[in-house]
Amino acid sequence: MLYVVTGAAGFIGSKLIEALNRAGVTEIIAVDNLESAAKVGNLAGCEIEDYLDKRDFLERLVANQFDEEIEAVLHQGACSDTMESNGRYVMENNYRYSRVLLDWCQDEAVPFLYASSASVYGAGREFREERACERPLNAYAYSKFLFDQNVRRRLPARSAQIAGLRYFNVYGPNEAHKGRMASVAFHAFNQFMSEGRVRLFVGSDGYADGEQRRDFIHVENVVNVNLHFLEHREISGIFNCGTGRAQSFNDVARAVVNGVRAGRGEAELSLADMVAEGLVEYIPLPPQLVGKYQSFTEADLALLRNAGYGDDFMPVEQGVGTYVAHLLGEQR
């Protein structure tokens, strides 16, 4: 039996394949679009059964050429650029693609795990998996929101598991190809290595400089949540996938700078020391983000915990520190 991972060469998709490999699973169809080959290296260390271009995969799926071969679909493929202005492109890649896969999985009674997003909450201050909390601010967020709405309508009559995970701010190895959409931790590391400083936004929405807060989650924690649902196919629904603890961008910057300093054998610094020495500085919010910026996110984990997921999540100090050590190792 085959596992399908879409977005397989991407950030979370490739880490899911690594985890399946560690569990002894290699019968995997890796689905992606490699017109831009920057991410192909993410698959180099993975064991898979086959690779299919997204278009070829969809053609074979619609033509019913898999004949009960598929054990489960882990759908991570999407346009993840929250600043993408071509709404038609976003909806085709994020909403319509997901609908085709869901329809097929329900017709064939195949478990379907998919990537949703905390962006559906917009600028709200409540992060529960409820319609009243959802206020998407851009085409990317709306595409994820609309698919979640479709899933909600289909859950009562489902033929197999449907589980959507609303990822909060994910960081960790295998994200370099994402460019401007890579994590704050990734960009902070590269800024510090190239310029000797980390730039954060000045205060906004009532927060002091760099004190805007997000729920930052390490990719390994995200993978573990996915595997929990893969192992418990009796559980369906839409669930937040974050740590449940908002931490500031200053916390991320401090973890990055001190992680690099530790790698150099240098002493740890406080945030105040970093600012005083020019290692952290604050810049204005870009005009294109005004009114579209989430200054605060924090996953409500009640539904996830009720679904039986009891593992702890890495705080920024641990997770970013581990990530920085990894990035330093890649440069050696």
Whether 255 and 188 have beta carbons less than 8 Å apart is answered as no
Q: What is the 3-state secondary structure (H, E, C) of 187-209?
A: HHHHHHHHHCCEEEECCCCCCCC
- Are 296 and 125 in contact by the 8 Å Cβ rule? The answer is yes
Q: Is 140 a catalytic residue?
A: yes
Helix (H) or strand (E) holding 54: helix 54-62
Count of positions (residues) in the chain: 332
Task: Give the position of tokens 């085959």.
Answer: 2
89 catalytic per annotation: no
By the 10 Å C-beta count (0-12 exposed, 13-18 middle, 19+ buried), 66 is classed as middle
Instruction: Enter the tokens of residue 26.
Output: 């290699």
Instruction: List the catalytic residue out of 178, 207, 293, 309.
Output: 178
User: Which entry of 140, 142, 167, 323 is annotated as an active-site residue?
Assistant: 140
Element housing 53 (H / E): strand 50-53
Supply the residues annotated as catalytic. Answer: 140, 178
